[in-house]
Amino acid sequence: MQFSRDRILTTHVGSLPRNDALSDLLVKREAGEPYDRAEMDAEMDRAVSHVVEKQIAAGIDIGNDGEQQRVGFQTYVPQRMSGFGGVSKRRRGREFEDFPELVASLARRFPHVSKQQNAPEAQAEIKYLDIKPLENEIARFKRIANGKFTELFMTAPSPGIISSTMLNAYYESHDKYLDAIAREMKNEYQAIAKAGLTLQIDAPDLAMDRTMMYRDLSDSDFVKRVEKHIASINDGIAGIPREQVRLHVCYGNWEGPHIYDVALAKILPAIYQAKVGALSIEFSNPRHAHEYAAFKQHPLPKDMILVPGVIETTNNIVEHPEVVARRIEDAVAAVGDRERVVASTDCGFGTFTNREWVIEPAVWLKLRALREGADLASQRLWGRKVA
């Protein structure tokens, strides 16, 4: 991933809003219902072209396909592997149990979403079947992007978040299941890297799962689980240059209290064990805006870039560029190096099909505010006007 050599570069976490026609097709494909493949291809071309142009217009330097070609950031995986079936009884976050009003609010707001809590489970030996769908995604994005960004990235879920979404009903232990996922997902990780794209590993399991799958553990035992999840990531990305991999860590992309979230300082040393070149961490969530202090206790390794979330992704308020600039400056102060900060969003804007918290016009305004804020910060950090 590129350093911010003469100005603060901008990126985002990955998912962007999908149009209604594409959303319907993606949900049908996920459900195994018949759909028109030619129509799907045309809609994907249209959708990827749309989000690429919108990113460019907003001033994004490091862009992607907006995950337009996937139903969700991790729930697409069973479509590409054998061994999955039935329904996982995934545990909800602690706050969803303590605040039934939150569940009711979500049900009213998002009545028709893709599979999240009811994804299939691993019922047999998992095996990656066909890399062609991913190769098609990469080819479509590269053809449409065609030199428009300074760098291209593509996302793939971590073994850990796959394991806590599509639960284990076959392997003798969770660790053996993790190992199997890492072995099979290596196909995707390697393909993205070989295509010349920066690989982003989406790993909310490293923070969010403290309140979900691992909510009954002590903090110290949760950190041990984080270390195991990191080890599975390292197994999957083995052989890929670390500067070509960035790791996204977040607390779950929903509008909720987040009062049970784990403190960043507790998990940061374990996260540093990842053999990656950049860490994407949310800091605009009001529950976590103070956590730059964690880097005083645990300094960012010299070979890592920080990709801080300086734009919030669960509300329609468009940040003022000055607010964005100050958040970037806080990140630079925490890292101690302006070149090792790339400004980003907290999370995605379209984590799952048909569950978008932010209206599409506000998404592009937020990304534009990201660029304008990065320019303001760059002027102050480099002491000259940014072109």
DSSP 320-386: PHHHHHHHHHHHHHHHT-GGGB-BB-SS-S-SBTTB-SS-HHHHHHHHHHHHHHHHHHHHHHHTS--
Q: Which two tokens stand for residue 363?
A: 């998404």
* 387 pLDDT higher than 80: no
pLDDT at 316: 96
Evaluate if residue 320 carries a pLDDT over 80. yes
Note whether residue 4 is domain-resident.
Answer: no
pLDDT for position 112: 63
Give residue 82's pLDDT.
97
For the stretch 285-304, pLDDT in tens is 999 999 999 999 999 999 99
Is residue 55 included in any domain, yes or no?
A: yes
By residue range, what is the domain housing residue 127? Answer: 20-382
Per-residue burial over 213-222, b = 16 or more CB atoms within 10 Å of its CB, e = otherwise: bbeeeeeeeb
The pLDDT value recorded for residue 157 is: 97
In this predicted structure, the answer to whether residue 240 has a pLDDT above a threshold of 70 is: yes
Residue at 157 is within a domain: yes
Indicate which CATH number applies to the domain containing 95: 3.20.20.210
Between 271 and 115, whose confidence is greater? 271
Determine the average pLDDT of the residues in 79-101: 90
d(CA 222, CA 212): 11
Query: What is the C-alpha to C-alpha distance for residues 211 and 242, in angstroms, rounded to an integer?
Result: 29
Q: Place 117 in a pLDDT band, splitting at 50, 70 and 90.
A: low
- Let me know if residue 302 belongs to a domain: yes
Q: Residue 114 has what pLDDT?
A: 52
The 10 Å CB-count burial string (b at 16+, else e) for 323-347 is bbbbbbbbbbebbeebbbbbbbbbb
% of the chain with per-residue pLDDT over 70: 98
Which of 87-91, 148-152, 184-188, 211-215 is least confident? 87-91
Residue 197 pLDDT exceeds 70: yes
Asked if residue 9 belongs to a domain, the reply is no
The whole-number pLDDT of residue 254 equals 84
Q: Mean of the pLDDT values across residues 240-254?
A: 95
Model pLDDT, residue 353: 79
- What sign for the dihedral angle of Cα 65, 68, 70, 71? positive
Integer angstrom CA distances of residue 334 from 72, 340, 383 = 33, 11, 19
In a domain, 8, yes or no: no
Residue 256 has pLDDT above 70, yes or no: yes
Q: Is residue 6 part of a domain?
A: no
What does DSSP assign to residue 286? T
Rounded CA-CA distance 235/126 in Å is 17
Average pLDDT over residues 89-118: 78
Percent of the chain with pLDDT over 90: 85
Tell me the backbone φ, ψ of residue 149, rounded to 5 degrees: -105, 160
Q: What are 20-35's pLDDT values in tens digits? A: 999 999 989 988 899 9
The pLDDT, as a whole number, for residue 44 is 97
pLDDT tens for 328-365 read 999 999 999 999 999 999 999 988 877 788 999 999 99
Is the predicted pLDDT of residue 118 greater than 90, yes or no? no
Tell me which residue has tokens 């993790």: 178
What's the domain count of the chain? 1
pLDDT at 95: 87
What pLDDT was estimated at residue 116? Answer: 52
According to DSSP, residue 204 is labeled G
Q: What is the mean pLDDT of the chain?
A: 94
Section 162-178 average pLDDT? 97
Please report whether residue 242 resides in a domain.
yes
